[in-house]
Chains A and B, each alone.
Chain A
Amino acid sequence: MKLTLLIIFCLCMVLISISIGALHIPLPNVISAMLGRGSDIHVTIIQDLRLPRTVLALTIGAGLGASGAALQGYTRNPLADPGILGFSAVAALGAVVALYFGWYALVTPAALLGAGLGALLILAMAGRRKGASVLILAGVGIGALATALTGLIMNFAPNPWALSEIVYWLMGSLRNATKDGAILCGLLTLLGLGFLFFTGRDLRTLSLGEDTARSLGVSLGKVRLLLVIGVALCVGSGVAIAGAIGFIGLFVPHIMRGIFGADPARLIPLSALGGAGFLTFADILTRVLSGQGTVIYLGILTALIGAPFFIWIAAREGRA
Chain B
Amino acid sequence: MRLALNNLSVAYGRAPILSGFNAEVGQGEFIGLVGPNGSGKSCLLKTIAGLLKPKMGDVILDDDNLHTLPPKDRARKMSYLAQDRTAHWPLPVGQLVALGRAPYRGSLGKLSAQDELAIDHALDAAHCTDLKTRRFDQLSGGEQMRVHLARALAVDAPLLIADEPNTALDPYYQITLMNTLSAQIITGKTVIASLHDLSLAKQFCTRIWVVHQGGLVQDAPPDQALNKDILSQVFNIKWSGVHWEVLSPQLVLP
Among B75, B89, B96, point to the contact of A215 (Cβ < 8 A). Answer: B75
| Contact call A208/B79, Cβ cutoff below 8 A | no
Q: At the interface, yes or no: A37 with Cβ under 8 Å from chain B?
A: no
User: Which residues on B sit within 8 Å (CB–CB) of A198?
Assistant: 107
- Chain B: interface residue total (CB-CB under 8 A): 33
Q: At the interface, yes or no: B82 with Cβ under 8 Å from chain A?
A: yes
Cα of A211 to Cα of B82 in the assembled complex, Å: 7
Q: At the interface, yes or no: A147 with Cβ under 8 Å from chain B?
A: no
| Contact call A211/B89, Cβ cutoff below 8 A | no
Look across to chain A and name the residue whose beta carbon is closest to the beta carbon of B83.
A211
| Contact call B89/A216, Cβ cutoff below 8 A | no
| Contact call A207/B84, Cβ cutoff below 8 A | no
Q: At the interface, yes or no: B60 with Cβ under 8 Å from chain A?
A: no
Query: If A215-B82, A218-B102 touch, does A262 touch B89 (CB 8 Å cutoff)?
Result: yes
| Contact call B91/A217, Cβ cutoff below 8 A | no
| Contact call A218/B71, Cβ cutoff below 8 A | yes
Q: At the interface, yes or no: A175 with Cβ under 8 Å from chain B?
A: no
Q: At the interface, yes or no: B88 with Cβ under 8 Å from chain A?
A: yes
Interface string of A238-268 (1 = CB under 8 A from B): 0000000000000000000100011110000
Q: At the interface, yes or no: A204 with Cβ under 8 Å from chain B?
A: yes
Q: Which residues of chain B in 67-89 are interfacial with respect to chain A, using CB atoms and an 8 Å cutoff?
A: 71-72, 74-76, 78-80, 82, 84, 86-89
Cα of A209 to Cα of B86 in the assembled complex, Å: 7
* Min C-beta distance of B208 to chain A, whole Å: 24
* Min C-beta distance of B69 to chain A, whole Å: 10
Q: At the interface, yes or no: B155 with Cβ under 8 Å from chain A?
A: yes
Which of the segments B20-28, B44-52, B167-175, B194-202 contacts the partner chain?
B44-52
Look across to chain A and name the residue whose beta carbon is closest to the beta carbon of B75.
A217
| Contact call B84/A217, Cβ cutoff below 8 A | no
User: Which residues on A sit within 8 Å (CB–CB) of B86?
Assistant: 208-209
Q: At the interface, yes or no: B113 with Cβ under 8 Å from chain A?
A: no
Cα of A98 to Cα of B102 in the assembled complex, Å: 46
| Contact call B95/A263, Cβ cutoff below 8 A | yes
Cα of A202 to Cα of B108 in the assembled complex, Å: 10
Cα of A217 to Cα of B71 in the assembled complex, Å: 4
| Contact call A204/B99, Cβ cutoff below 8 A | yes
| Contact call A214/B71, Cβ cutoff below 8 A | yes
| Contact call A205/B99, Cβ cutoff below 8 A | yes
Q: At the interface, yes or no: B90 with Cβ under 8 Å from chain A?
A: yes
| Contact call B82/A216, Cβ cutoff below 8 A | no
Look across to chain A and name the residue whose beta carbon is closest to the beta carbon of B103.
A217
* Min C-beta distance of A230 to chain B, whole Å: 14
Query: If A76-B89, A215-B80, A218-B71 touch, does A208 touch B105 (CB 8 Å cutoff)?
Result: no
| Contact call B107/A262, Cβ cutoff below 8 A | no
Interface string of A194-215 (1 = CB under 8 A from B): 0000101110111111011011
| Contact call A208/B99, Cβ cutoff below 8 A | yes
Among B79, B88, B89, B108, point to the contact of A201 (Cβ < 8 A). Answer: B108
| Contact call B95/A211, Cβ cutoff below 8 A | no
Q: At the interface, yes or no: B151 with Cβ under 8 Å from chain A?
A: yes
User: Which residues on A sit within 8 Å (CB–CB) of B92?
Assistant: 261
User: Which residues on A sit within 8 Å (CB–CB) of B100?
Assistant: 216
* Min C-beta distance of A198 to chain B, whole Å: 6
User: Which residues on B sit within 8 Å (CB–CB) of A207?
Assistant: 87-89, 91, 96, 99
A-B pairs, 9 with minimum CB distance: A217-B75, A215-B80, A262-B89, A76-B88, A217-B72, A216-B102, A217-B71, A217-B103, A211-B82
Spell out B's residues near A (CB within 8 Å): 46, 49-51, 71-72, 74-76, 78-80, 82, 84, 86-92, 95-96, 99-100, 102-103, 105, 107-108, 148, 151, 155
Additional pairs, 12, CB under 8 Å, beyond known A76-B88, A207-B91, A263-B95: A198-B107, A201-B105, A205-B102, A207-B87, A208-B87, A209-B88, A211-B51, A212-B80, A214-B50, A215-B51, A263-B89, A264-B89
